[in-house]
Amino acid sequence: MKKTLIFYKNHFKNRLRINIIYFIIGSLFFVQSCERKTEKKIIKQNHSAEIKKLIEKGNYFFDRVKNDSAYLYFNKAISLCEPKKDHAEDYVFALTCMANIQQNSSDYIASEESLTKTLPYLKYLKNPKFTYNVYTLIAYNYYYSFDYKSAISYHLKALKLAKTPFKKSVILNDIVLVYLTQEKYKEAAELLIPLVAKKIKHESDQNKTDFNYSLLLDNLGYCYYKIGNPKALDCLNKSLKIKLEQNDNHGLIGTYNTLSTYYSKTDANLSKMYAEKAYSSACKANSAIYKANGLAMLIQKSEGDELKKYSLDFIKLADSFTVAREKAKNQFARIKYDSDLDKAENLFLKTQKIENVLQIERQNNRTKISYIIILFTGTLLLYLFFHLTSKGKKEKNDAIYTSEIRISKKLHDELANNVYQTLVFAESRNLELEENKEELLNNLDLLYSKTRKISKENSTIKTDKSYDLVLKEMISGFKTQDLNILLNGFDTIDWNEVDKNKKITLYRVLQELLTNMKTHSNASLVGINLKKMHKNITVIYNDNGTGTNIDTISFKSGLHNIESRIHNIKGDIKIDSAPDRGFKVSFNFPL
């Protein structure tokens, strides 16, 4: 029954330890998962709908040539995009539109900077038209910056992405413009002739077909003019007819300029007329740069007051054009700066908000952890309390059991035989005889002495001011006619400084040593020396008994008890003995 209870008790303790460990680990995982969920909940935010609206507004103003407003909305859309995740197309499209606006304002450096930002994200695009537009705009930036080789290189990259014949013809016409600027008229004509012959149609819009065809005729007519081909005038007239039908003032500027150049050497009046028409179309199209080009041609073809008028208009236009271009640059720079500033402020505010929420969440998690720690600590303390209480009871019961066994053994070894002999003597002898009566009384006196001695050995030890007298009395009880005990240093110790438990331990250790000596060693002289050194008490016990081999000593249990007692009061012990060399024990312990 007792073994069963011990088994269940140990099983309960083990299960309690395992449950506590699982509880702690589970609590930590719970807190960490809460933190991760909170961070994901805060960080994840979708701006797709807002980006679409901003791009739609940007397109609305871009189509109406309100570049400042268009630029503003495209820039706002970019600030919300995450190009590596879900908004690569929106990001590239908005930046391309901004680059187009910058290019139209002759800010080619800023345009190139905007386009460069798109390059890392082109690989994420599914629709090649966005990449096509980026390469085309980059090519035009190089063209306007007089880097014709790079311009052709990017036009060729765009050409590889063109899916329809019409788009390919547009890009080839862009390459022709570069050749014309480089005065490579034969190379340009070789590209244009097959395109003009095919008259490639747009997939769905006839106006775009006619517009592109008129551009091809313009450029081919200019090439023919430069290389002396008589077909030049026919190409230019066909182009003029298409543009007049479309009422394309912007397109008419180029045709009129080419016709003015064509007649410049053969018919001055006709050349001047086409120059005036070019200037008039530029005014209708409200194109400052073409107005300036038209005035430049008219200045060359005019005299007197007309020359003065055109010259003054040119200077005025050039000044306003420079101011407008700088104003546009500054305006776009300011929009971008304000947007970056707003973005930085918004990011700061968002970061602050997220930090505040995370801080609150962390505080909540700390509170949870604190409760868990308090609960765990309380559980642990409760467990330790019951464990130590149980251990103390067990040790107390073990000590009682050990004491009972020892007392029983002493009674059996030292009294049982004498009592039996005394009883046999009383039954078998005539107690009326004086000598028998005297011997019985001596036997009874011996039994009383032994009984009193055993009682003293197991009685409560006084640890008050009379402790040194009690200790000496216990030691003197072992003296006989054949055994002399010498004490040294007992009176030099201030026993009031010594802890109560250590006094009891010293008493029991000396008692155990003297008992073992009397039982096993047949000593005639015992020396016990006490010293106080550096808040430690050192005790040296010597006897001149027969001694013994420590490895085969016959009273190991007694020595084990002595060692355990000394170690329990944080002391050290050393035992030295050999056959025919007596027995020596030295130990020390703190006060």
pLDDT tens for 343-367 read: 555 555 656 666 777 778 788 888 8
Q: Which pTM does this prediction carry?
A: 0.50
pLDDT at site 138? 94
Measured CA to CA, the distance from residue 115 to residue 132 in angstroms comes to 12
Measured CA to CA, the distance from residue 385 to residue 530 in angstroms comes to 39
Measured CA to CA, the distance from residue 281 to residue 258 in angstroms comes to 14
b or e along 456-488 (b: 16 or more beta carbons within 10 Å of the residue's beta carbon)? ebeeebebeeebeebbeebbebbeeeebebeee
b or e along 489-524 (b: 16 or more beta carbons within 10 Å of the residue's beta carbon)? eeeebebeebeeebbbbbbbbbbbbbebbbebbebe
**Whether 200 contacts 169, CB under 8 Å:** yes
CA torsion through residues 121, 123, 124, 125, sign: positive
**Using alpha carbons only, what angle is made at residue 480 by residues 474 and 482, rounded to the nearest 5 degrees?**
140
DSSP conformation class of 84: T
Q: Token pair 């019409």 is at which residue? A: 166
DSSP conformation class of 146: T
Phi, psi of 306 (to 5 degrees): -60, -45
**Whether 276 contacts 259, CB under 8 Å:** no
Mutual angle of helices 128-144 and 165-181, in 10-degree steps: 10
Tally Cβ neighbours within 10 Å of residue 216: 24
Measured CA to CA, the distance from residue 46 to residue 330 in angstroms comes to 32
For the stretch 26-58, pLDDT in tens is 655 555 555 555 554 444 567 888 989 999 999
**Whether 456 contacts 514, CB under 8 Å:** no
pLDDT at site 5? 41
pLDDT at site 133? 92
Low-confidence ranges of the chain (pLDDT < 70): 1-45, 85, 317-354, 392, 395-404, 406, 408, 410-414, 448-449, 452-459, 551-558
- Contacts of residue 372, defined as CB under 8 A and 6 or more positions apart, other chains included, come to 24, 27
Measured CA to CA, the distance from residue 506 to residue 585 in angstroms comes to 13
- Which tokens belong to 306? 């007309």
For the stretch 241-285, pLDDT in tens is 998 988 888 888 889 888 998 888 888 889 889 888 988 888 887
pLDDT at site 336? 58
DSSP conformation class of 204: S
**Using alpha carbons only, what angle is made at residue 145 by residues 139 and 148, rounded to the nearest 5 degrees?**
55
pLDDT at site 528? 94
The residues pairing with 530 across neighbouring beta strands, listed in sequence order, are 539
Half-sphere exposure (CA, 13 Å, Cβ side) for 529?
A: 9
**Whether 478 contacts 485, CB under 8 Å:** yes
pLDDT at site 6? 47
pLDDT at site 127? 86
Q: Token pair 């918004």 is at which residue? A: 346
* Strand arrangement of the beta sheet that strand 572-577 belongs to: 484-488, 525-533, 536-543, 583-590, 572-577
pLDDT at site 193? 92
Q: Token pair 């001149």 is at which residue? A: 544
**Whether 311 contacts 299, CB under 8 Å:** yes
pLDDT at site 406? 66
Percent helix, strand, coil in the chain (nearest 5)?
75, 5, 15
Q: Which long-range contacts (CB under 8 A, 24 or more apart) does 143-147 make?
A: 143/177, 143/178, 143/181, 144/103, 144/106, 144/108, 145/108
Domains present along the chain, CATH in parentheses: 47-163 (1.25.40.10), 464-590 (3.30.565.10)
Measured CA to CA, the distance from residue 98 to residue 134 in angstroms comes to 11
Measured CA to CA, the distance from residue 45 to residue 66 in angstroms comes to 31
Q: How far is CA 219 from the centre of its chain?
A: 62
Dihedral angle over CA of 391, 395, 397, 400, nearest 10: -170
- Contacts of residue 78, defined as CB under 8 A and 6 or more positions apart, other chains included, come to 91, 94, 95, 98
- Which tokens belong to 247? 């009422």
Q: Which long-range contacts (CB under 8 A, 24 or more apart) does 6-11 make?
A: 9/390
- Widest distance between CA atoms in the chain: 185
